[in-house]
Structure 1
Amino acid sequence: MNTIDWTRDELVAYILLFAANSDFKEKTEERNLILSNVDKQTFQDIHDEFNRDNDYQGIKKITTSLEQHNYTKDDIDILLEDIKVLFLSDDDFDITEQNMLRFLERLLKH
C-alpha cells in the first residue's frame, strides 16, 4: 500500500471509526461524536470503506495516511485526545477500549 487518497478529515473519521469499533459495538454517542468532526457524506464514504477492510488493512491505511499527511507529535496528541473523548462519550470506558487506546498510542507514536 503505497498511497492513500484521503483528506485529513477522512483519516480522522477512519481512525475514530476504528477506535469506536474496538468493542465491536458502534454506539450512537460514538457515531454522533464522529459526525461532529466530519460531514455526513465523508462519514458515510469512510464508514463504507471501513466496513470493507479487515484490521490489517485498516492499520496499514492509517499508518500510510499519517505519513502522507505529515502528522506531527502535536497532531498525534490531539488525535489521541479525540479518541479518548470518543471512548468516554458513552460513559463506559471498558477494558477493550482501554486496550485499544494503548494500542493506538503505540501505533500512532511509532
Structure 2
Amino acid sequence: MNADFIEAPEELEKITSRVDNNTYQKIHSEFDVDNDYVSIQKIKVTLNGLNISEAEIEVLFEEIKELFLADGKYEVLERNLMLGLKKVLK
C-alpha cells in the first residue's frame, strides 16, 4: 500500500533500513492484494492486539510522515492517507 502509488527508491531505502527484505516483501505482497478496507482492518487489529498507546500511535504517525517525506515530497495523496489513518486509528 503506497499512498501515491509510487515507491520511490528513497522510501524503499527508509523502509528496508527498519525491516529486513524478507519481512518487507511478505508484508508488501500481502497488502498488495488487499483492498483499502481489508488493509485498514489488518492495521487496526494489529494495533489493538499490541495494546499500542496513543503516544506510541503519535510516534508511528511521525514515522509515517518521515517515510512520505523521504523522496523530498509530501504529495496530496500521502496527506489524505495520513488524515484518513488518523481518523480511523485514534
RMSD (CA atoms): 1.0
Distance 1:41 1:48 in 2: 11
Amino acid of the structure 1 residue aligned with 2:79: Q
**Long gaps (5+) in structure 2:** none
Aligned to 2:15: 34
Amino acid of the structure 1 residue aligned with 2:74: F
Identity %: 43
Aligned to 1:77: 58
SS of the residue 1:83 aligns to? helix
Q: Which ranges of 4 or more aligned residues in structure 1 deviate by more than 2 Å?
A: none
Distance 2:89 2:13 in 1: 23
CA-to-partner distance for each residue in 1:10-42, whole Å, 9 max, x for gaps? xxxxxxxx3xx1111111111111111111111
Aligned to 1:98: 79
Question: Is 2:12 the counterpart of 1:50?
Answer: no
CA-to-partner distance for each residue in 1:70-97, whole Å, 9 max, x for gaps? 0101110110010110111111112111
Larger RCO: 1 or 2 (CA < 8 Å, sep 6+): 2
Structure 1 residue aligned with 2:48, among 59, 67, 70? 67
Distance 2:33 2:83 in 1: 25
The count of corresponding residues between Structure 1 and Structure 2 is 90
Amino acid of the structure 2 residue aligned with 1:48: S
CA-to-partner distance for each residue in 1:43-98, whole Å, 9 max, x for gaps? 11111111121111101100111100101011101100101101111111121111
Distance 2:75 2:21 in 1: 28
SS of the residue 1:22 aligns to? coil
Amino acid of the structure 2 residue aligned with 1:25: I
**Long gaps (5+) in structure 1:** 1-17
